[in-house]
């Protein structure tokens, strides 16, 4: 009797979507200090529910307000825990929430668009970055996908409209996270790179 799936080997590593938090998944209301300030975008949870059928989901967030003293790391963690728990209650699982707490002038390794956290996900979760995506409302979120060898998408929620003119030519621009999910799910891996 053959066992389905027993021939799994190379090429079966999971792909991932690396999501920005503020302005992409939830409303950007400045430096969030408590769970009551979290407001999910209307179609965000559905979008993640659709994506997780084919991708592992991660949040990668720059929280320079920690370095600037506007918000404490414990507050960032509490807000992130609320985001994780709320999604989990809706059937959506986040693999990790990665936070860079530094200021851009600190010259740290982990601030986006550096691919530090996606590389960590590749090592610790076996993610195939070449088939993975980043999504966010800032040019650095798109650049992140380019840096890790995948594809970045830009959303027009949050600060998206404000920074739109700073994007490189050819950037994939979509209305919101649901539209990003639709775009990603309509592009099979074999079609990647043809945009
Ligand atoms: Mg953002
Ligand atoms: Zn950092």
Q: How far is the CA of 55 from the centre of ligand 1 (A)?
A: 21
Residues facing 135 on adjacent strands: 19, 153
Q: How far is the CA of 137 from the centre of ligand 1 (A)?
A: 5
Does 154 score more than 50 pLDDT? yes
Element (H, E) at 17: strand 15-19
Q: What is the pLDDT of residue 191?
A: 46
- Strands in 133-136's sheet, in edge-to-edge order, are 96-100, 55-62, 15-19, 133-136, 151-155, 172-174
Q: How far is the CA of 11 from the centre of ligand 1 (A)?
A: 32
Which CATH number does the domain 15-187 belong to among 3.40.50.1000, 3.10.129.10, 3.40.50.2300, 3.40.50.2000? 3.40.50.1000
Q: What is the pLDDT of residue 12?
A: 87
Give the C-alpha separation, 136 to 140, whole Å. 8
Element (H, E) at 29: none
Does 7 score more than 50 pLDDT? no
Q: CB-based burial of residue 79 (10 Å sphere; 0-12 exposed, 13-18 middle, 19+ buried)?
A: buried
More confident residue, 194 or 31: 31
**Computed over its alpha carbons, how large is the radius of gyration of the chain?**
17
What is the rounded average pLDDT of the residues 26-44? 96
Which residues have a catalytic role annotated? Answer: 20, 22
The rounded percent of the chain whose pLDDT value lies above 70 is 90
Among the bound ligands, name the one nearest to the CA of residue 135: 1
pLDDT digits (tens, 9 = 90+) for 57-114: 999 999 999 999 999 999 999 999 999 999 999 999 999 999 999 999 999 999 999 9
Residue ranges of the annotated binding site for Mg(2+) are 20, 22, 137
What is the rounded average pLDDT of the residues 147-157? 98
Does 188 score more than 80 pLDDT? no
């Amino acid at each position: 009797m053959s066992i389905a799936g027993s021939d799994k080997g190379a090429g079966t590593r999971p792909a991932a979507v690396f999501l920005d938090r503020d302005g992409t998944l939830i409303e950007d209301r400045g430096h969030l200090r408590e769970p009551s300030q979290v407001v999910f975008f209307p179609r965000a949870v559905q979008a993640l529910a659709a994506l997780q059928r084919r991708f592992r989901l991660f949040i990668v967030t720059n929280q320079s307000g920690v370095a600037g003293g506007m918000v404490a790391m414990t507050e960032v963690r509490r807000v992130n825990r609320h985001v994780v728990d709320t999604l989990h209650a809706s059937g959506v699982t986040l693999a990790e929430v990665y936070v860079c707490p530094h200021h851009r002038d600190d010259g740290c390794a982990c601030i986006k668009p550096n691919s530090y956290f996606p590389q960590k996900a590749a090592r610790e979760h076996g993610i195939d970055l070449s088939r993975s995506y980043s999504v966010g409302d800032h040019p650095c979120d798109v650049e992140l996908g380019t840096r890790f060898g995948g594809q970045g998408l830009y959303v027009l929620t949050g600060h998206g409209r404000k920074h739109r003119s700073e994007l490189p030519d050819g950037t994939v621009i979509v209305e919101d996270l649901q539209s990003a999910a639709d775009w990603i799910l309509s592009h099979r891996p074999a079609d990647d790179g043809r945009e």
